[in-house]
Amino acid sequence: MWERLGKWPVVRQLTGRDRLGRGAAAQSPSHVGLRPRTADADRVAGTVCPYCAVGCAQKAYVRDEKIVQIEGDPDSPISRGRLCPKGSASLQLVTGPQRLDKVRYRAPYSTEWTDLDLHQAMEMIADRVVAARERGWQDVDGKGRRLNRTVGLAALGGATLDNEENYLLKKLFTAMGAIQIENQARI
């Protein structure tokens, strides 16, 4: 009885050191047992927020090969651990149910998506690239000057991608003669 009474928060507040009731006096047994998701992580990966260009450093906590939390990295001289609402929501961006998981395919004139195997999609796209490149090919202009290019295919995107990815994109498209290669930096 006295033992139970002694656990009553009011008693703990009046008799313990936490007289303002803002710490230990207000804790419940389940509360005491709470541990942050980050505590049980198997490892932490240093990463960078994918939204705006400030470049806030993030720490991605991994348990059982799944991301369990993403937080700001206090070591960063740019962000000092802070994240904005978007950066703070990046756990949802990465793990949320809105994420696409399978290739979706819409045939010409179709009214719905269907499934398509990833490697088959890659083979189909490669076929189409070769054909579109050929269809739009231009060897020379009206004055006989070298053009060496295709206007049959275009690309847009890069500002959300890695430098290494942009590098390969520009290199491949340039070698194929594709010139209409653009990204958000133009916008």
Segment 52 to 91, residues that bind another protein, using CB under 8 A: 52-57, 60, 62, 65-67, 70, 74-80, 82-90
Torsion 151-156-162-163 (CA) sign: positive
Question: Site residues for another protein, window 109-138 (CB under 8 A)?
Answer: 109-113, 116, 118-119, 121-132, 135-137
Nearest to 66, CA basis, from 88, 36, 45: 45
Tell me the two tokens of residue 147.
């053009």
- Smallest distance from another protein to CB 31, Å: 24
CA dist 98 and 89 (Å) reads 13
Select the span of 8-16, 19-27, 31-39, 48-56 touching another protein (CB under 8 A): 48-56
- Smallest distance from another protein to CB 175, Å: 5
Question: Site residues for another protein, window 2-41 (CB under 8 A)?
Answer: none
- Smallest distance from another protein to CB 67, Å: 6
- Exposure of 56 by Cβ count < 10 A (0-12 exposed, 13-18 middle, 19+ buried)? buried
- Smallest distance from another protein to CB 24, Å: 30
Nearest to 64, CA basis, from 37, 31, 101: 37
